[in-house]
Amino acid sequence: MKFLVTSFIFIFSTMYAQADPFWKYEIGDKIKNEIVLDKKIKIPLSYGEWEILEKTNWCWYAFCGRYISLAKLIEKEIAETYSLGYLDTAGKRISDVDIFLHESTFLNKHDGCYKRPEYYKLELYHKGSTINCMIFRHADVNKELYNPDDKTLAYLDAKIIRWIEDNDIEIPKIALESDHIFFLRSVSPRYYVISHAINPKFFNGPKIKFFSEESSEYHSLNINNYPNHKKFINKFLSNASLFHKSLEDKMKLKQRHKLDLSKNIIE
């Protein structure tokens, strides 16, 4: 009997791993073409080799979560990154979950789906517990890694910092980043966060002279003084808006829940 039970568990876990591509990824793997978070979220990757930097999967009582991050390097310098994750609320303790997600998304004093000076663009649909949000911004990468505003979460980047330092990886001084946040119970019990960032150097961006978050040419209060940087950031905003629309389609959002991003898109 023990042999039969063990065999059944092994066969079931193998079948599940084959059905869910997430389980095939391991930290340090080199991949191409696409990254798969779950059945809804499959992201096509730009040409080249990408490395898996982090991967976590956890469950606590009825709740589960999943997270994966990856980067593309060009001669040991970060050119582009993705991070993808979700919290699966499983439809449990709806009132408590709604309060927690509302506080995390809208009342976090460091980041969230509300206007902040460093955000170049914020697009938001929010009604009841439903959230469809796109944040578009520049980032002082050194500050985000080594001196984040929220010191209580600094430990979360420890693995990335170790990978950077152990492998002599060069990080961009300023990156452009888009964050895409979805929570619609009519579509899924999962709260999704997908982030994409680029190093402007590898996308024909204009030369950067100012490297702090406040002084950067890409800061919303400075951008109008730098027409070449504004043209470049608007091009990336257009791409980010198209990416967000593709995520809305993957998740099969109803039209009333979608963001109006046409104003951001450059033909």
Q: What is the pLDDT of residues 208-238, one digit of tens each?
A: 999 899 999 999 999 999 999 999 999 999 9
pLDDT > 90 in the chain, percent: 65
pLDDT, averaged across the chain: 88
Q: Considering only 21-25, 233-237, 259-263, which range has the smallest mean pLDDT?
A: 21-25
pLDDT value at position 8? Answer: 36
pLDDT at 12 over 70: no
- What does the pLDDT read at residue 16? 45
* Predicted local distance difference test score (pLDDT) of residue 228: 96
Q: Answer yes or no: is pLDDT of 15 > 50.
A: no
Query: At residue 6, does pLDDT exceed 60?
Result: no
Residue type, 99: I
Token representation of residue 90:
């499983």
Label residue 90 by pLDDT band (50, 70, 90).
confident
pLDDT at 19: 64
The pLDDT value recorded for residue 231 is 96
Do the bridges between strand 50-60 and strand 30-31 make them parallel or antiparallel, or are there none, so unpaired?
antiparallel
Check if the beta carbon of residue 244 is closer than 8 Å to that of residue 259: yes
> Which residue would you say has higher pLDDT here, 267 or 169?
169
Tokens standing for 83? 């991070």
Q: Which of 11-15, 116-120, 128-132, 243-247 has the lowest mean pLDDT?
A: 11-15
Distance, CA of 68 to CA of 160 (rounded, Å): 12
Confidence of residue 146 (pLDDT cuts 50, 70, 90): confident
Calpha distance 261→241 (Å, rounded) = 6
Interacting residues of 7 by C-beta distance below 8 A, sequence separation 6+ = none
Q: What is the pLDDT of residue 262?
A: 94
Q: How far is CA 205 from CA 26, 150, 158, 170, 173, in A?
A: 33, 29, 29, 18, 13
Per-residue pLDDT, 17? 46
Residue 94 has pLDDT above 50, yes or no: yes
Q: Which two tokens stand for residue 145?
A: 């890694």
Question: How far apart, in whole angstroms, are the C-alpha atoms of residue 89 and residue 94?
Answer: 8
